[in-house]
Amino acid sequence: MNKPVILPPSSVRAIFCFSLIGVIVSHVIVLFDFIEEMHEKGAALELALLDAGIVRLRPVLITVGATILALFPLAMHGGPLWQPLCYAQIGGLGVATFHYTTAGAMLYSIFVLDLKGVKWEGPNETPKSEGPAARDEVH
């Protein structure tokens, strides 16, 4: 058996880390942009989150699947430098895509509902200043 090659930090490793981070961040940005488009159209928060997750899932899976398939030949026959890096990239994309599909909409909903970072007023939601309790206090 071959001994595993332990590599010192290098520019190749940094490039793989940055590419992995870039792919996932771009997917999250597109997801959030889709949610914001639904917000501008007046959709309810829950509907916007569900639609964004459903509509954006297919392109994300296609992109990640194509990237993983393209890395397999290099991982199998790339030599001692490329093999561990490709396996790390493949594993990282798989894990990050799973987390993207489960945590992306959840993080956005936390930002809207708990942190109040975005004022969300969908078609069935009234602003707090115009609700029945606010009208009673004024009169």
In a domain, 88, yes or no: yes
In a domain, 2, yes or no: no
Number of domains in the chain: 1
Do residues 35 and 48 make contact, with C-beta atoms less than 8 angstroms apart? yes
Instruction: Flag whether pLDDT at 8 surpasses 70.
Output: no
CA–CA separation, 84 and 13 (whole Å)? 10
Span 93-125, pLDDT tens digits: 888 888 877 787 788 788 777 767 666 665 544
Span 61-76, pLDDT tens digits: 898 899 899 989 988 8
In a domain, 4, yes or no: no
Maximum Cα interatomic distance, the chain, rounded to a whole number of Å: 83
- Provide the token pair at 43: 């959709």
3-state secondary structure (DSSP) of residue 26: helix
pLDDT at 130: 46
Instruction: Flag whether pLDDT at 131 surpasses 70.
Output: no
CA–CA separation, 14 and 32 (whole Å)? 27
Q: Please compute, for residue 125, the number of CA atoms within 13 A of its CA located in the half-sphere on the CB side.
A: 14
Supply the CATH number for residue 132's domain: 1.20.1640.10
Range of the domain at 91: 11-138
